[in-house]
Amino acid sequence: MSLTGVRIAGVGHYAPERVVTNEDFAGWLDTSDEWIVSRTGMKRRHWVAPGEATSDLAVAAGRKALAHAGLDASDIDCFIVATVTPDYSFPATGCIVASRLGGVDKPGFDINIACSGFIYGLTTASALIRGGVYKRILLIGAETLTSITNYEDRGSAILFGDGAGAVVLEASEKDSFLSSELGSDGSRPELLFVEAGGSRNPIDAEKLAERKNFLSMQGREVFKFAVTKMIAATDVALQKANLTRDDLNLLIPHQANKRIVDAAAKYLNMGPDRVVINIHEYGNTSAASIPIALSEAVAAGRVHDDDVIVFVAFGGGLSWGAVTWRWSA
Ligand code: ACO
């Protein structure tokens, strides 16, 4: 039996206990439940407790995915965490997660490409497995976006939540990976970035006072880019797999804004039964959003053997990506 393909053997997700509703923001921001629901589709999001960090969420989701796959951390050859909110600038959160799960001496690393993180991670991990480098990889999208949220900015503060989603990828006779389409345009980082804290603008008192250590975004520009790129990436990924929109059973998009997902789904001619949306519960959890949505879709019985799925995302970079996947139960 030749194991030259890859499949997802287990999924899991975790969200912190604390739930923050739209009404909660009205206590300190000039906003309302009506505005947030109508402009974003969000109702609730989960926030970490003080002291809870990205690796805590990643470990919880990773444990669930391992249990779902019937495996132990010692069965995993490599641990990858997609995140823009690592525990530290370094060491990589992937190293911390590997150790905490019990992956002794195993490689661990991070992928930092914002909301496209899971798509880049799925492409990387699939290539490592299909190329014969590793047999099993635990890929986790995990974010504590509240650690970089500017709570004085009503245009972005309401959008973000914390959480983690994980998949166990393993070598397989049948190949689930059909295609990948990735892209980026780094010519205008200011569209969506944390300005200070890196080598370009190290943190100092002035930057802290100006809240430049928090995420800032030009929402309208990002919105337009998002709709265009989600549609284009989905179409190209399908073409690369020699498939058409009609072949697509399920679209699992990054959960950034329900209006973005609805616009893309409408253009792609995908009805609600073929699109996974859970943004009302989690808000935007960046690299965690797609694996959380997949984990919930599997638990809800929405994913069947042989289904064609497109995972698609956009985010900081700016970046975008889509993967076509044939589900293998
Ligand atoms: N409550 C009430 N009013 C608000 C709020 C709020 N929370 N936020 C903005 N407004 C106001 C604005 O001030 C503006 O008022 P004005 O017309 O008087 O100036 C008005 O609402 C419209 O503002 P817009 O920014 O044009 O609103 P828009 O419909 O574009 O929605 C949003 C804003 C939700 C941010 C949208 O642009 C969006 O979703 N963009 C994409 C965001 C995204 O996906 N980012 C990914 C980042 S994740 C990552 O990379 C980690």
The CB of 287 under 6 Å from ligand 1? The reply is: no
**Residue labelled with tokens 């990976």:** 177
Sheet with strand 177-184: strands edge to edge:
177-184, 319-326, 308-315, 250-253
Q: CA-to-CA distance for 99 and 107, rounded, in angstroms?
A: 10
Gap from CA of 262 to ligand 1 centroid (Å): 17
The sign one gets for the Cα dihedral 46, 51, 52, 55 is positive
Element (H, E) at 39: helix 33-40
> 301 with 277, same domain?
yes
- Index of the ligand 1 atom closest to the CA of residue 31: 1
What is the 3-class SS of 43-89, one letter each residue? Answer: CEEEECCCCCCHHHHHHHHHHHHHHHHCCCHHHCCEEEEECCCCCCC
**Residue labelled with tokens 């973005």:** 260
> 169 with 183, same domain?
no
Per-residue pLDDT of the chain (329 residues), as tens digits, is 678 999 999 999 999 999 999 999 988 899 999 999 999 999 999 999 999 999 999 999 999 999 999 999 999 999 999 999 999 999 999 999 999 999 989 999 999 999 999 999 999 999 999 999 999 999 999 999 999 999 999 999 999 999 999 999 999 999 999 999 999 999 999 999 999 999 999 999 999 998 999 999 999 999 999 999 999 999 999 999 999 999 999 999 999 999 999 999 999 999 999 999 999 999 999 999 999 999 999 999 999 999 999 999 999 999 999 999 999 98
Range of the domain at 233: 178-326
The CATH number of the domain holding residue 312 is: 3.40.47.10
> 154 with 11, same domain?
yes
Q: Give how far Cα 160 sits from Cα of 47, 156, 220, 278, Å.
A: 9, 7, 16, 13
The CB of 194 under 6 Å from ligand 1? The reply is: no
Q: Considering 105, 140, 175, which residue would you say is the last residue of a domain?
A: 175
- Among 33, 152, 220, name the best residue to mutate to test ligand 1's pocket (greatest count of ligand atoms within 8 A of Cβ): 220
Q: CA-to-CA distance for 287 and 175, rounded, in angstroms?
A: 24
Question: Nearest 5°: phi and psi at 12?
Answer: -165, 160
Residue 184, beta-bridge partner list: 319
> 150 with 86, same domain?
yes
> 168 with 186, same domain?
no
> 164 with 104, same domain?
yes
Q: Considering 140, 175, 210, which residue would you say is the last residue of a domain?
A: 175
Contact 171, 129 (CB under 8 A): yes
> 169 with 30, same domain?
yes
- The H helix count followed by the E strand count for the chain is 11, 13
Q: CA-to-CA distance for 173 and 135, rounded, in angstroms?
A: 12
Contact 45, 20 (CB under 8 A): yes
Residue nearest atom 42 of ligand 1, based on CA coordinates: 219
Structural domain total, the chain: 2
DSSP for 97-124, please give it.
Answer: HHHHHT-TT--EEEE--GGGHHHHHHHH
- Judged by DSSP in three states, 154 sits in helix
> 224 with 316, same domain?
yes
> 212 with 117, same domain?
no
Residue 2 confidence (pLDDT) = 78
Q: Considering 157, 175, 193, which residue would you say is the last residue of a domain?
A: 175
Establish how many alpha carbons lie within 13 A of residue 18's alpha carbon, considering only the half-sphere containing its beta carbon. Answer: 12
> 171 with 184, same domain?
no
> 186 with 307, same domain?
yes
* Active site (catalytic) residues: 115, 254, 284
The CB of 35 under 6 Å from ligand 1? The reply is: yes
The CB of 316 under 6 Å from ligand 1? The reply is: yes
Gap from CA of 220 to ligand 1 centroid (Å): 7
Residue nearest atom 32 of ligand 1, based on CA coordinates: 219
- How many other C-beta atoms lie within 10 A of the C-beta of residue 300? 10
Q: What's the CA angle centered on 137, arms 133 and 141, to 5 degrees? A: 135
Q: CA-to-CA distance for 181 and 187, rounded, in angstroms?
A: 20
Residue 286 region, left (φ>0) first, then alpha (ψ -120 to 50), else beta?
A: left
Residue 1 confidence (pLDDT) = 67
Q: Give how far Cα 274 sits from Cα of 6, 233, 237, 247, 277, Å.
A: 24, 17, 17, 11, 10
Residue 5, beta-bridge partner list: 172
> 215 with 168, same domain?
no
- Index of the ligand 1 atom closest to the CA of residue 148: 51
Kindly report whether the global pTM for this prediction surpasses the value 0.85.
Answer: yes
Q: CA-to-CA distance for 47 and 202, rounded, in angstroms?
A: 27
